[in-house]
Amino acid sequence: MPTAEHGVGMRWQVRWRDDAGEQQKLNFETKPAAERKDAQIKASLDRGDYIDPKAGQITLSAYARQWRAGITGDPTTLERTDSRLAWICDKPIGDQGLAVLAKRPSLVQSWVKDMEAAGLQPSTIKGIVDVAGSVFDAALDDQLVGRNPVKAKSVKPPAIVRKKVVPWTLDRVEAVDGAMPARFAPMTVLGAGCGHRQGEMFGLALEDVDFLGREIHVARQVRLIEHQLVFSPPKGGKTRTVPLPETVGLRLSAHIAAFPPVEVTLPWVERGKPNAAPVTAALLFAGEDGKPLHRCCFNRHWHAALREADVPVCRENGMHALRHTAASAWLAASVDIRTVAEYLGHSDPGFTLRTYTHLMPDAADRARRAMDAFFARGTVDVSSALVVP
């Protein structure tokens, strides 16, 4: 209940016991303000969503660092989270108290505008804002704040303009293939023919290629974690099997004869934790020194091949373009989207559909052909289905 204290200034006090039974109090300059707070506290205690007014005084930076210390996950994901946290903890917004930010989403929006002014790409800003949202979700669970200001309607990160993926033509695939060093050349047709990611090509072993069964197994990748090369499962921890086209099979067979597989032993990292026993695999692609491929070193060969093939050296022409080419070829041959997703290692066929829907055969044309085929066969009498009013 509000009680008057002698003197001037903050002379009205609200006293209550929190949900843990501890005595709490707050002072106010006016009686109406004290009565409003008294009513709010009583209502929140009755509803069970009471939040200690002093709890939100912790700064966003301090709480975000506590949050980061408690999360687990893939090392690469955690490294990305750390880089994004720098735009939270090391900026003026990090010095603000959680409660202040929860009450003033406009401060969050100003922070977003500052990142735009700094030249960050919309996708980068979205990643940083998403991390901030996760921090405030945790603060909500800890009952330090009453809402997540990042999710306020007034907070609007810049829109991300999604570029449509552009698959390579066969001429481009062949040109880059011809420009690659012989030791690495089959990787171009492997990516375009089977949809491997770069790290999965680096981790391809002799045992993964089933020439008789005409299949290729994607069982591991080579990754760089904390400056160390390691083996790990493919992205998402999902192994898969992809049909092996004859063209790719012949190229790999010739490559194995010219460059015998190299046995490489690396730590195995799964779910962010290294396996006590290292893993050995006979890799089809390795450096001249017999060591596994490092993406930074290999990309120099890739970029040189692009230049020789008169292909622009840019993000869109990274090795991932080969996966887009594989997806395009499968879809053009009417392979269903769920199967394409499986071949690419996508856990969500919806993602595959959203990414490659513009590459699928035109729905209207397929609908016309279906109806023309229906009427051409003439096997069904539709007249009996007509209802005349």
pLDDT, one tens digit per residue, over 95-152 is 999 988 998 999 999 999 999 999 999 999 999 999 999 999 998 888 788 889 999 9
Whether residues 310 and 259 fall in one domain: yes
The answer to whether the CB of 109 falls within 8 A of the CB of 154 is yes
184 is a domain residue: yes
Whether residues 87 and 23 fall in one domain: no
Q: How far apart are CA 128 and CA 133, in angstroms?
A: 9
| Boundaries of domain holding 303 | 170-359
Least Cα distance to 222 among 178, 180, 262 occurs for 262
Instruction: Spell out the SS3 assignment of 16-46.
Output: EECCCCCEEEEEECCHHHHHHHHHHHHHHHH
Whether residues 245 and 278 fall in one domain: yes
End-of-domain residue from the set 120, 151, 182: 151
Q: Give me the mean pLDDT over the 9-28 stretch.
A: 74
Whether residues 208 and 84 fall in one domain: no
End-of-domain residue from the set 151, 181, 213: 151
Whether residues 117 and 213 fall in one domain: no
Question: Of residues 7 and 318, which shows the higher confidence score?
Answer: 318
Count the domains in the chain: 3
Q: How far apart are CA 47 and CA 41, in angstroms?
A: 10
Q: Model confidence at 1, in pLDDT bands (50, 70, 90)? A: low
Q: Global pTM?
A: 0.72
Q: Model confidence at 93, in pLDDT bands (50, 70, 90)? A: very high
Q: Decide if pLDDT at 31 tops 50.
A: yes
Which residue type occupies 78? Answer: L
Whether residues 230 and 299 fall in one domain: yes
Q: What is the CATH number of the domain that holds 286?
A: 1.10.443.10
pLDDT at 319 (0 to 100): 95
